[in-house]
Structure 1
Amino acid sequence: MRKLSLILFAMMSLTGCRQNDSVTDASTPFEMKSAAAEYITASSLPVTTVSGSITTNTTWSGVIELDGVVTVKNGATLTIRPGTFIKGKINFNYNPNGVLVITKTGRINATGTETQPIIFTSSNLLDGNEDTTARPGDFGGVILLGDAPTNKPSTTVIEGLTGADYQYGGTNAGQNAGILKYVRIEFAGYDLLGPNSGNEINGLSLGGVGHGTTLDHIQVSYSLDDSFEFFGGTVNATNLISFGAQDDNYDFEYGYKGTISCALALADYNSGHSYSQGGSSPDSNGIELDNDGTGSSAFPFTQPILKNFTIIGAKSPLKSGLYENGVHVRRNGKLSLENTVITGYPIGILLETISGASVNLADYSFTNVQSHGFTFATASKIGASSSALNIPGITASTANPAHLWGMAQPFFNESFAWNVSPRNCGDFKGNWTKYDFSIVE
């Protein structure tokens, strides 16, 4: 157990910390500890457990425990104050360990700050016991839904859940699901039907979310599935970080059309790694993109505009074998990629066709892209065969060790200090981020 003296020290270091805020009390200001005291301080605070549906305006602060799936609907707005911790109650038999869903009829206002981010995390980091360990799947995940366009029926239910409350899609491109700003989501992920069912909850899932929504400074770390998955919609986002994802860092499908500016995908060799069905080959990508699961011509086509992405795999070919591709576009997906670097994957950029057709470069736009891959920097895949492909707008490298593309030391697990400068566009090492999840500080 954690030494009492550590807790007492952390508690004395607080200034004006409120420990008894009601989850619906929005009348008084809220102050939380400094970022340096995060988990050790929060483990000493009282916990409010929440379950079921939220149908009236509600405010959270302090430490919140989600019991099962918590659903915000019927016009309600959930406000989460800066410095709030949200953890999942551990359940069994494939019941989720806390999932927060903002439905089409709900809204969220989760506006943290650089020094007081809002943190969704593992209960094992907040239990006051230094012998327990946080693992992917300890927290279910965060889901935002809206009625913006997708290429699926508007009765489609978000992956990982069942029921009419969890439908998404429509015709309202400007839909506003609210705000997520300075938010960390850690150790999330959930599989509805069991391992590798293909029906999982991600760190942050966005279904039919419109461009009236604000997504800014969001970090997803050690997700059991994808860090970020966009199921259609038109939402834009800035300053995103995916760290140590078990599956894909960024996944787009079902007609997503939006712009994401300034994003990092950072591999951790020590995280879990996903494999294709049967466990025969790695299945983790920096970016994965499909029009839909069958490669149909359903409209609108999935075609994100991605700007200033930094996608970091492994320094050596041996470690890169834990992953698949830096960018994998397949199943009739389209892509615009600007000012982006990719390094440390077996294949940097892979364009995969359907029905044996040749790659149509008119479906893509690459501007000022630098791509490294140990096997191919840029390639096409027709059927089961991949081969090198020259793509305009891309500077290519197959160097060993992996190309740095002007960055100081971008590989997280190497002996020298990790540093992606000068590509630190989103303050990737700022006070709001965290890459060391030790609970003793």
Structure 2
Amino acid sequence: MKLSFTKVASALVLALTVIVTGCNDDGPNGPDSNPLSVESINPTAGQPGDEVTITGTGFANNADDNSVTFAGDVTASISSVSATELVVTVPQGATTGPITVSVDGESATTSEFAISSEPQPEIPEPYASFPGTKIAADETWSNDTTLVGPHFVLPGVTLTVEAGVEVTFEYHNGNDDKVGAIYTLASDDQNFSEPRETAKLVAEGTADQPIVFTSDRKQINSWGGIIMTGRASNNIPGGQGTVEGIEQDIFYGADADGNFNDSDDSGSLEYVRIEYAGYSINAGSELQSLTLYSIGSETNINHVNLFGSSDDGIELFGGTVDIKYLVVYGADDDSFDYDQGWSGKGQFWLAVQRDGADQGFENDGCADEADCDQGSGPGSPNISNATVIAPKNTASGKDNMGLKLREGLQGAYRNIIVSNFVGNPFYLDGENNANDDTYENYDSGDLVLENFVLQNNGPWASSDESRYSAVYEYTSSDKPADLFNNPSNYDYSLPSGSAYLSGGQAPSDSWFDDVSFRGAVGESGTQWDWVNEGIWVKWPI
């Protein structure tokens, strides 16, 4: 059969046209747009009537030019549209399967969307916009797990971690949105369909099966730690503050009506170790191992070990929570830091400083010294039986102190051992600052200091040595080995026969254990040698 040149040429032109058309990478919005693709869906399960966000590229900017079909061959209505995001409503009749997005003759398919028989957890704004993972229904972690990025326990939800579980966060590589952390969020009576109580973290280990929160990197600054927010009182002007170290606004303190709840309950931490934490987005906005914002008195915190932090060991912003049996090792900044009117109780606190760290205690009474009469008023903690010990490294250039008390602080500190600090064993600000009442609070009895033991610290400021002579006594030796049982092996119990097994007096409050020894740890080998119980406390190898 003979083919004419004209017919052959026409066939070649047609074939080339098909090839060019089939290979065209232009997206549905024109030659400069991205090709159609689907990257993710959120949530991945739901019921008819729920909203689903589809992210990707190449969507049409006009809702009518997009078609979204669920399994079951039913079409969804589109409520919001952009070139990279579609918000659709799950249609009646939808079944479990992928979702298909069609634009201008092209199609892209999502991963499976499950039609669930149970209602999906409610995640309203502002929480839906938070980065990372939102824990919107009660969960229990029974096995070791590795996590990425921040995890937010929403109001009304309880996260339970069982004894012996290790929770590991992947290193963030400097990406703020990937910094691992667990946030428990304060109560909310505004944004959910019904009022929600404060979220709870219940992590109750044992001495031999502690719960460990850690990082795969095993270095400080590797994740953001545990951050708990509540509704207990503080003295912030207006009563409500926002959490540091995260770009999103997470509120704590007074509720929308300006009310506090001093008996707020954020759960329980017991025989828990938090290690290699701390992160700073910028100066003055840091995360530490454990951060407590307006946490209430119904929260249970005891036997907690904070090992290595790029900021403070623990920091409290207001609140009424009580803490017993607390060990901080190797914080970069302060070991025990609190501000904004924390007025809880503490007993049996041990801090071992690292080279270059700041204060053992850095405690501020007021968020704003000029406006400190509202809310809970000046901070008034009641601390008994603490030991703070430093390496006394003058080469670091840090004139660190055992206790630095300031900004109108009130309260009581009893039975404290301070050892090896370069600077003052303790210092009360306000002698030369008319706006700070801390110095005068000691004279008036609003700030009580009793039964201190001081060993090998730096020189006093001005006349403080004589001013506080009734507060303290010096040890007979400058060597920590003569004060503690075996400090070279991190044993800070008191040896049998120590003069400091007596001379202390616990506060007249039933919450406190009625012991007579001074410092955090009692006689070696007794029930008061609590740090050496089990394996829950970690020390450097």
- Is TM (by shorter chain) over 0.5? yes
- The alpha carbon displacement at 1:94 in A equals 4.4
Please report the TM-score for the alignment, with normalisation by the length of structure 1: 0.74
Say yes or no: does 1:81 pair with 2:162. Answer: yes
2:179 alignment partner in structure 1: 97
Say yes or no: does 1:289 pair with 2:363. Answer: yes
1:111 alignment partner in structure 2: 204
Instruction: Tell me if structure 1 keeps the 8 A contact 2:409–2:447.
Output: no
- Higher relative contact order (Cα pairs below 8 Å, separated by 6+ residues): 1
- The alpha carbon displacement at 1:241 in A equals 0.3
1:40 alignment partner in structure 2: none
C-alpha distance after superposition, 1:390-434 (max 9, x if no partner): 215422439873566742243xxx4xx332122244621222334
SS of corresponding position for 2:226: strand
C-alpha distance after superposition, 1:63-113 (max 9, x if no partner): 223322211013110000111111222223441531101111311111111
Instruction: Tell me if structure 2 keeps the 8 A contact 1:144–1:205.
Output: yes
In structure 2, C-alpha distance between the alignment counterparts of 1:287 and 1:70, rounded to whole Å? 30
In structure 2, C-alpha distance between the alignment counterparts of 1:85 and 1:217, rounded to whole Å? 16
Question: In structure 2, do the counterparts of structure 1 residues 109 and 408 end up closer, same or farther at CA, with 3 Å as the change threshold?
Answer: same
Matches within 5 A, 1:362-441: 362=444, 363-372=446-455, 374-376=457-459, 379=461, 388-391=465-468, 393-397=470-474, 401-402=478-479, 406-410=483-487, 414=488, 417-422=489-494, 423-424=521-522, 425=528, 427-436=530-539
2:190 alignment partner in structure 1: none
2:406 alignment partner in structure 1: 330
Structure 2: gaps (5+ residues): 1-130, 187-197, 495-520, 523-527
Structure 1: gaps (5+ residues): 1-49, 125-133, 275-283, 381-385
Instruction: Tell me if structure 1 keeps the 8 A contact 2:327–2:537.
Output: no
In structure 2, C-alpha distance between the alignment counterparts of 1:354 and 1:163, rounded to whole Å? 39
Instruction: Tell me if structure 2 keeps the 8 A contact 1:58–1:77.
Output: yes
- Given residue 295 of structure 1, which amino acid in structure 2 is its aligned partner? E
- Given residue 290 of structure 1, which amino acid in structure 2 is its aligned partner? D
In structure 1, C-alpha distance between the alignment counterparts of 2:143 and 2:223, rounded to whole Å? 17
Question: In structure 2, do the counterparts of structure 1 residues 192 and 233 end up closer, same or farther at CA, with 3 Å as the change threshold?
Answer: same
- Given residue 324 of structure 1, which amino acid in structure 2 is its aligned partner? N
2:227 alignment partner in structure 1: 143
- Given residue 202 of structure 1, which amino acid in structure 2 is its aligned partner? Q
- Given residue 138 of structure 1, which amino acid in structure 2 is its aligned partner? S
1:306 to 373, 383, 387: 383
C-alpha distance after superposition, 1:206-244 (max 9, x if no partner): 000000000010000111100111100000010000001
- Given residue 538 of structure 2, which amino acid in structure 1 is its aligned partner? Y
SS of corresponding position for 1:244: strand
Say yes or no: does 1:203 pair with 2:289. Answer: yes
Question: In structure 2, do the counterparts of structure 1 residues 163 and 268 end up closer, same or farther at CA, with 3 Å as the change threshold?
Answer: closer
- The alpha carbon displacement at 1:342 in A equals 0.8
Matches within 5 A, 1:34-183: 51-95=132-176, 96-104=178-186, 105-124=198-217, 134-152=218-236, 153-169=238-254, 170-183=259-272
Question: In structure 2, do the counterparts of structure 1 residues 404 and 341 end up closer, same or farther at CA, with 3 Å as the change threshold?
Answer: farther
1:350 alignment partner in structure 2: 427
Structure having the higher Rg = 2
SS of corresponding position for 2:350: strand
Instruction: Tell me if structure 1 keeps the 8 A contact 2:531–2:537.
Output: no
Question: In structure 2, do the counterparts of structure 1 residues 297 and 354 end up closer, same or farther at CA, with 3 Å as the change threshold?
Answer: farther
- The alpha carbon displacement at 1:256 in A equals 0.4
- The alpha carbon displacement at 1:174 in A equals 0.6
- Given residue 408 of structure 1, which amino acid in structure 2 is its aligned partner? N
In structure 2, C-alpha distance between the alignment counterparts of 1:374 and 1:158, rounded to whole Å? 35
1:280 alignment partner in structure 2: none
In structure 2, C-alpha distance between the alignment counterparts of 1:320 and 1:387, rounded to whole Å? 25
Instruction: Tell me if structure 1 keeps the 8 A contact 2:245–2:285.
Output: yes
Instruction: Tell me if structure 2 keeps the 8 A contact 1:87–1:98.
Output: no
SS of corresponding position for 1:260: strand
Question: In structure 2, do the counterparts of structure 1 residues 145 and 219 end up closer, same or farther at CA, with 3 Å as the change threshold?
Answer: same
Instruction: Tell me if structure 1 keeps the 8 A contact 2:214–2:277.
Output: yes
Instruction: Tell me if structure 2 keeps the 8 A contact 1:120–1:139.
Output: no
Question: In structure 2, do the counterparts of structure 1 residues 317 and 110 end up closer, same or farther at CA, with 3 Å as the change threshold?
Answer: closer
Question: In structure 2, do the counterparts of structure 1 residues 149 and 135 end up closer, same or farther at CA, with 3 Å as the change threshold?
Answer: same
Instruction: Tell me if structure 2 keeps the 8 A contact 1:113–1:432.
Output: no
Instruction: Tell me if structure 2 keeps the 8 A contact 1:303–1:335.
Output: yes
SS of corresponding position for 1:428: helix
Instruction: Tell me if structure 2 keeps the 8 A contact 1:266–1:311.
Output: yes
- Given residue 395 of structure 1, which amino acid in structure 2 is its aligned partner? Y
Instruction: Tell me if structure 2 keeps the 8 A contact 1:146–1:168.
Output: yes
In structure 1, C-alpha distance between the alignment counterparts of 2:174 and 2:483, rounded to whole Å? 48
- Given residue 454 of structure 2, which amino acid in structure 1 is its aligned partner? S
C-alpha distance after superposition, 1:101-152 (max 9, x if no partner): 111131111111111111011213xxxxxxxxx2111121101111000011
In structure 1, C-alpha distance between the alignment counterparts of 2:471 and 2:175, rounded to whole Å? 44
- The alpha carbon displacement at 1:51 in A equals 4.1
Question: In structure 2, do the counterparts of structure 1 residues 242 and 319 end up closer, same or farther at CA, with 3 Å as the change threshold?
Answer: farther
In structure 1, C-alpha distance between the alignment counterparts of 2:366 and 2:175, rounded to whole Å? 26
C-alpha distance after superposition, 1:318-348 (max 9, x if no partner): 4785560100001222241111111111211
